Structure 1
Amino acid sequence: MKTDCIIRPATPSDIAIINRHRFHREDEQQEDLDAYANWLAGTLATGNYLGLLAQAGDTVVAGAGLSILDWGPIRGDTQARRGRIVNVYTAPDWRRLGIARALVAGVLQLGKEQGLNTFNLSASEEGQPLYRDLGFVSYPTEMIYRSGTGQENKRVSTGCQNHSGRPWSSNDYFTSS
């Protein structure tokens, strides 16, 4: 029966499996996989990554993780750390059985046991109903900045001066490539 699986904690020996869940598309770059595996090894060792895996026989069919971040207190939450739900993946043949729901609820509980109050995640359209049902709400004020897009070379000037007494400009900190 398809629901015959166990849920167990992720261990360092699961890094390759978690990495495959994180980077499950065919066009993934090896550099990304290697970097994530190295990061994961370190965060598992320090306890800043907590993961749960669903296993059927010898095969891991689903997983979810919690990355514990030192974020600093925010309005309404004096706890400096928060949790980021990551690596939620279920093998196609095992979807719609409640496994992802159980795994995400489980990592939320693990985070609460660590004293975390605030959790966030990035949700696909397909996953949004699940997360809403678990109590997540949309938070539309977030934005992302990535170096290497060309946007970092935009110059900003102000009426302020830099430490040398010259008018401050972002040129003081950014150089053209």
Structure 2
Amino acid sequence: MTARPIFTHRIATEADTDAIVALMKASIAENMKGFLTPEEIIAAQETMGLDTTLLEDGTYFVIEAEKDGKTVMAGCGGWGKRRTLYGGNHTKGRDDTYSDPATEAARIRAMYTHPDWTRRGVGALLLELGENAARKAGFKTIELGSTLPGEPLYRARGYEEVSRETQTAANGQKNTVIKMRKAL
């Protein structure tokens, strides 16, 4: 039996941008294959990617582990205190104004696990970090926009579906985003 990896975490910085983007691309390309067709993966990319406001706000985490004597990025993700529910800098319909912790939800945002590190607790750790930080910032609820591949993890961690939105992507394929919520 292989020993469970030891993960460390830290707040992502602008210097991590290239590595984060590379991890996101690998995650999207590989981790969605069991759920979506290649065309649907391309469609999903319209609502996925790096949102640099998370880096600016200091609410984005990098999960690291040791592999072959080197520290590698195993995952990334975070939470948002802005109203944008999902998407990268390129995603249409963003609202980068701040949410009111007394009346609005925080957001779990941009969670990705490198394909070499799936099913090892990276996603659960990212959720725990984001939820704890949002709670500490005074939020009472937290929401996220899930892809179909992410839905099982979020359900297992206590998130409940609020709504489903199906968009037609530029390539004509459908892209489903599931809005989910959890009390903190």
TM-score category (smaller protein): 0.5 to 0.7
Q: Look up the match of 2:16.
A: 14
Residue correspondence of structure 1 range 93-172 to structure 2 within 5 A: 93-140=116-163, 143=165
Shift of 1:18: 2.7
CA–CA separation in structure 1 for the residues paired with 2:8 and 2:112: 15
Residues 79, 109 of structure 2: 8 Å contact kept: yes
Residue identity matched to 1:79: T
Q: Deviations over 1:104-159 (max 9, x none)?
A: 1111111111111222212233322211122210012x64889x9xxxxxxxxxxx
Moved beyond 6 Å, runs of 4+: 26-29
Aligned-residue RMSD, C-alpha: 3.5
CA–CA separation in structure 1 for the residues paired with 2:99 and 2:108: 18
Residue correspondence of structure 1 range 77-96 to structure 2 within 5 A: 78-80=102-104, 82-96=105-119
Residues 63, 88 of structure 1: 8 Å contact kept: yes
Shift of 1:7: 2.0
Residues 9, 51 of structure 1: 8 Å contact kept: yes
SS at match of 2:162: coil
- Structure number with greater CO (CA < 8 Å, separation at least 6) is 2
SS at match of 2:63: strand
Residues 76, 111 of structure 2: 8 Å contact kept: yes
Q: Look up the match of 1:67.
A: 80
Which structure carries more strand by proportion? Answer: 2
Residue identity matched to 2:153: L
SS at match of 2:108: strand
CA–CA separation in structure 1 for the residues paired with 2:63 and 2:54: 20
CA–CA separation in structure 1 for the residues paired with 2:167 and 2:126: 30
The structure having more radius of gyration, on CA atoms, is 1
Q: Deviations over 1:6-59 (max 9, x none)?
A: 122222222223333444456999xx9xxx66x51x5433x2x51222112321
Q: Does 1:44 align with 2:55?
A: yes
Shift of 1:100: 1.1
CA–CA separation in structure 1 for the residues paired with 2:115 and 2:20: 16
CA–CA separation in structure 1 for the residues paired with 2:59 and 2:79: 5
Q: So what's the TM-score if we normalise by structure 2?
A: 0.58
Residue identity matched to 2:72: T
